[in-house]
Structure 1
Amino acid sequence: MLALSACGGGDDEGACTAEARVSVVLSIVDDLNAPVAAADVSYRVDGGAAQTLVCGASGACNIANEISGVFAVSASKSGYLPASGTVTVNRDACHVITQKLTLTLKRAS
């Protein structure tokens, strides 16, 4: 109840929800725009400690829940050149505003 009153009053419009929203939706593709499965991902938020994960078969993965800040993201996979990018995640009164980031891994020669 306190969270609702702090985020929009208690009425249905503008009220906060209990759901945890994803900070960054990452897509990893190759230079032909095909998904790259099982890429290794490393990220830092606002220059903090590195976190790692492995994206799934679809080449997509979610990075963090309800964390805002500047995300520095890098991806790599054997047979490809690594790629990196940054995205800034802001928040409204209740949740982060999910951002999308696509990294393109080019095949190594």
Structure 2
Amino acid sequence: MPNETDIFETLRQELRRGSLILAVLAQLQEERYGYTLRRALSDVGVDIDEGALYPMLRRLEGQGLLTSEWREEDKRKKRFYRLSPEGVGVLARLAVEWRAMNSSLDKLL
């Protein structure tokens, strides 16, 4: 039988997964490449490792929520990401959903 720490860690990861998607979408209202995205998230207390971030970016782009473009900057090719028009709409709807859920949970907790 799993102990309390294992159960907590599993539930924390589930809670975090959806929150990270919302955080990434919110940060990509401005164009960024992976490193600057990670830094911007970290600056507001949302840490995500590369092993989770890049697959998420590819998945969100595959879903049509992001666009990306390879460009050279500082003599290095970098892939820049930004919300697509569809991503803007989905982010707006998710933000409404998040605020409603957060408000309800605040009342419960």
TM-score of the pair, normalised by structure 1: 0.23
Higher helix residue share: 2
State the TM-score, normalizing by the size of structure 2. 0.23
Structure with greater strand share of residues: 1
